[in-house]
Structure 1
Amino acid sequence: MPKRKTKSSCKERFKVTASGRIKFQPAGKRHGMIKRTNKFTRNARGTDVMSKADEQIVKPMMPYQR
């Protein structure tokens, strides 16, 4: 069997938890923070767990992370 490729964008953006869920950093905190509300920046801190529907899209791109 040939090796399967992992998408480089996925391996840089996502990590898999011990239970198999995918965690990610919420978008929108790189620049332009003046126009963002305080609530937005507060809610975008830390990491978040991806929804089940989005996991089905991302997991095939990360074949060895299951």
Structure 2
Amino acid sequence: MKAKTVKTASKRITNVTKTGKLMRRKLSGQHLTTGKSKRTLRNSTKKMALTHADYRKIAKMLPNG
């Protein structure tokens, strides 16, 4: 049977680093941005690595994880 990716997992993961870390977008930059500071919005555009607990959950959803 063909291994398939869970679509929600593929939407959360932006890229995989050379060392194998899964990266995701930071929160709070998508909507309701009028009351947020420029610093918060600038930092929300960056990426961060998944935590260990999230990594295990999402690795199960990926076919090669």
TM-score, normalising length: structure 1: 0.75
Q: Distance in 1 between matches of 2:59 and 2:17?
A: 12
Please tell me the root mean square deviation across aligned C-alpha atoms, in Å: 1.7
Shift of 1:52: 1.3
Shift of 1:40: 2.5
Partner secondary structure for residue 34 of structure 2: helix
Q: 1:47 is matched with which residue?
A: 47
Structure 1 stretches of at least 4 aligned residues deviating more than 3 Å after TM superposition: none
2:29 aligned with 1:29, yes or no? Answer: yes
TM-score, normalising length: structure 2: 0.76
Shift of 1:5: 1.7
Shift of 1:30: 1.6
Q: Distance in 2 between matches of 1:31 and 1:19?
A: 32
Q: Distance in 2 between matches of 1:22 and 1:11?
A: 11
Shift of 1:26: 1.1
Segments of structure 1 that go 5 or more residues without pairing to the other structure are none
Partner secondary structure for residue 48 of structure 1: strand
What is the aligned length? 64
Shift of 1:19: 1.0
Q: 1:58 is matched with which residue?
A: 58
Shift of 1:43: 2.6
